[in-house]
Structure 1
Amino acid sequence: MSNFIPEIIYAIVFIVGNLTVYFWRRKTDDPDIFFFCCIWSLASLFVYLAAIEIPKGSFFVVIPLLFLGLFLQSYFRSKARLLNGFLFNLFIIVFGGYLLYNIFTTTSIIVGGLLAVVLVAFLLIVFFGIAALLIFLYWNAIVVMKKESHSLANLLTLLLAIFLTVYLVYDHFIAQQLPLWLSGFLSCLPLIMGYFFLVFFNFLTISLLYQFNHPRYDQDYVMVLGAGLLNGEKVTPLLARRIDAAIHFYQAQQKAKGKRAKLLMSGGQGPDEKISEAQAMKNYALSQGIPESDILLENQSTTTLENMRFSKKIMEEHSPNGYKAIFSSNNYHIFRAGIFANQAGLAADGIGAKTAFYYLPNAFLREFVAIVMMNKRRHLLVVGGIVGLTTAATLIRLLVN
């Protein structure tokens, strides 16, 4: 029994700590219970790992902590950067390597349990990953086509599913039948796919982490980023959710601190719209009981980058001595919007409005495509390098044979 004393103490500290965090955060204006429980769980785990390793004379627990510190330093310096996704995933890989070392040197049942969960998840992905992914993508595509318009932007999950299906058929039934020179050249395809998978994984990681952003209740402005209108004059359900998220923050800040922020509606008038998006958003906010004196309009922008630039100009005119601001958009969009805020020189983070689950896969794919296009030169160089290397390798094989 004495051999399990560290594990018993850790289990007690873990459970009691999380219960304490739960009841503590419930009493606050902005509970965010899940985030703070994650912080406590990670901190208590590292304390436990250090407690069982250091007495044995090693200090390798410092290594994953350094990588975690590197991620946190980059993240809090600027949250909307793809680099942060890479650094977090790098931390996870290093931490996994450390856990493997730890299990062999300490035989901890806690570490063994963590690795068992990871192993089971890995095996499930290996055995069912591709098939499950294809089934999910086709199902999601059908749902989106039933509930949304058939625009190209809403067909991304279907296009991805078709591409993966064609590639699997090629890889299993056609690749072996091709001449050496052609199969060698086409060997660049899995490498290119692997590269974009890593880029997407980093993007998805930081996009999900960005959802935990919870601005303080001391904001002067809450920007709402515009979107298309119904019949050229009414906000869509998607845009209404953005406004609702801003109104919720506006009301929560007023209740918590007694400070009233200005809602800055940002969006110009499209060629098929009767009024500007900003005006339609104002009309909706007024219908929700927001005083007109607390609403500002930016009605010239046509892109998210212009949303940020033109809104920044308005806020600087109203608050020449400085201000604090955040922006509201749909949860899948706030990371890319944060990138545009950085490009505009605007120190503002985003709050995300909830989006229907069925729409999220397609929405995140659309955001990923947009992110790739923002850095298309870099990706073209990498793809070109892969094609060049595989072509050179194929030529060498042909000459040798």
Structure 2
Amino acid sequence: MYLYLGIIPLSLFIIFLISYLIDPRKIINGFLFNFFLITFLTFCLAVSLSSEQYILKLAIIIPIAALLLLIPFAIVAFTVALFLNARTLMRREGRRFANSLTLLLGLAIVAYFIIGSFNLTGRFPLEFQPFFAATSFVIMYFLFHVSNFLSAYFLYQFNRPRLHQDFIIVLGSGLINDKVPPLLASRINKAIDFYHKQAKVTTPPTIIFSGGQGPNEGLPEAEAMQKYALEKGIPLKHTMQENKSVNTYENMLFSKRIMDSLKPKYNSIFTTNNFHLFRAGLYARQAGLNSQGIGAKTAFYYWPNAMIREYVAIVVMGKKRHLIIISIVFFFAALLSLLIYLVN
């Protein structure tokens, strides 16, 4: 009987695989994968518990029990790691708000557990309790959302474009003293590496350097990026500039216009840093560009803070949907609070 339950995770995996192969640039892919994983683990647990094989039962039960016991220690370790990462990042990159996101997340986790441990919400009148419940629901909603985002993000890292591209778009990230900084250089180097790999087997692609001129920059990013690539040995005839864009969406949209004007049908990819890869893919989709990305490695100390920033940006991209859900939750909380007040 339990074997028939295996159809559920198998079906979910097939649905996930089809969705991923059609377009890996979707957060729903993370949801489908997580749903498959939960049902698969549940299926394994059910089969092991129903089995007469004692060793099989232990093989499933012991890891699950160990995982449950480790969760509190993992939360503490994660919180400590956030504070340590914030210290390292601020020392290396400077004390700016953009570099304090891991610190703020660590403080939020500590505050949440302090409020829960001392039951501070219980000291408020009964009419306020629906709002605390609504807040907890919203927190759970975003934990669910961020788990889907992280799964979709990690799955997208496995995307490997084929060596038959007509164009490579390199996304700008800002200049320092009108020079290409290490973060941006890693994106260009990723494109150069792909260029050489493809050139060995077929026609080399054209590299489009995408980035406009910032308020404190003496030249467009695209010009500095192109100069950097030429110094690395890329022929001028295989490079182009897109020097009007000021954000990732415009990088995609303006580069698409250039490619559309040059070739009616083409294959293209884009390069950026791995933490930015998934969100850039979403912008490419919004711009109507059928282009997948490859990510350059990022220093480990920089990655956690960057991922928080990426998630905040993802939330902002879907702000209307999130605001509707939050508004509905607190609307019902307000109604329940009013009802409690009237009854009392």
Alignment match, 1:229: 175
1:279 to 2:223 alignment: yes
Q: CA deviation at 1:252?
A: 1.4
Q: Secondary structure at the match of 1:80?
A: coil
Structure 1 partner of 2:286: 343
Aligned length: 342
Label 1:121 to 1:275 Cα distance change in 2 as closer, same or farther (>3 A): same
Q: Distance in 2 between matches of 1:332 and 1:57?
A: 40
Partner of 1:171: 116
Report the equivalent of 2:243.
299
The superposition leaves residues 66-90 of structure 1 with CA deviations (integer Å, 9 ceiling, x where unpaired) of 0001111111112111111111111
Aligned equivalents of 2:260 and 2:102: distance in 1?
41
TM-superposition CA deviations, 1:228-270 (whole Å, max 9, x none): 1011x11111100111111111111222x13211111111111
| Number of the residue aligned with 2:126 | 180
Amino acid at match of 1:171: G
Q: Distance in 2 between matches of 1:112 and 1:344?
A: 51
Q: Please say if residues 49 and 57 of structure 2, whose CA atoms lie closer than 8 Å, have aligned partners that are also in contact.
A: no
Cross-structure match for 2:257: 313
1:216 and 2:162 aligned: yes
Which range moves more in the overlay, 368-377 or 56-65?
A: 56-65
> Is the Cα contact below 8 Å between 2:211 and 2:244 reproduced in 1?
yes
Contact kept? 1:99, 1:111, Cα under 8 Å = no
Q: After superposition, where does 1:1-400 map in structure 2 within 5 Å?
A: 58-107=3-52, 109=55, 113-114=59-60, 116-125=62-71, 127-173=72-118, 174-231=120-177, 233-255=178-200, 257-320=201-264, 322-400=265-343
Tell me the distance in 2 between the aligned counterparts of 1:176 and 1:77.
49
* Change beyond 3 A, Cα 1:112–1:300: farther
Alignment CA distance shift 1:114-1:219 (3 Å)? farther
- Please give the alpha-carbon distance, in whole angstroms, between the structure 1 residues aligned to 2:25 and 2:136: 29
**Deviations for 1:199-231, whole angstroms, at most 9, x for unmatched residues?**
111111100110011111111111100011011
Q: Answer yes or no: is the 8 Å Cα contact 2:164–2:202 preserved in 1.
A: no
In structure 2, the CA distance between the partners of 1:249 and 1:187, relative to structure 1 (3 Å rule), is: same
Q: Is the 8 A contact 1:156 1:362 kept in 2?
A: yes
What is residue 18 of structure 1 aligned with on the other side? none
Residues of 1 paired with 2:144 and 2:29: CA distance? 13
The question of whether the paired residues in 2 share the 8 Å contact of 1:226 and 1:239 is answered with: yes
Amino acid at match of 1:123: L
Task: Check the 8 A contact 1:266/1:301 in 2, yes or no.
Answer: yes
What secondary structure, in the 3-state scheme, does the structure 2 residue paired with 1:352 have?
A: strand
C-alpha distance after superposition, 1:111-143 (max 9, x if no partner)? 753553344223211x22332222111111111
Percent identity for Structure 1 against Structure 2 = 43
Distance change in 2, residues 1:375/1:177 (3 Å):
same
**Normalised TM-score (structure 2):** 0.94
Q: Which runs of no fewer than 5 residues in structure 1 stay unpaired?
A: 1-55
Residues 1:258 and 1:368: Cα distance change in structure 2 (over 3 Å):
same
- Note the residue ranges of structure 2 that are not aligned, 5 or more in a row: none
RMSD across aligned positions (CA): 1.9
Counterpart amino acid of residue 176 in structure 1: G
Q: Contact conserved, 1:99 with 1:115, CA < 8 A, in 2?
A: no
Q: Distance in 2 between matches of 1:62 and 1:317?
A: 48
Offset, 1:394: 3.6
What's the counterpart of residue 22 of structure 1? none
C-alpha separation between the residues in 2 aligned to 1:118 and 1:196?
A: 25
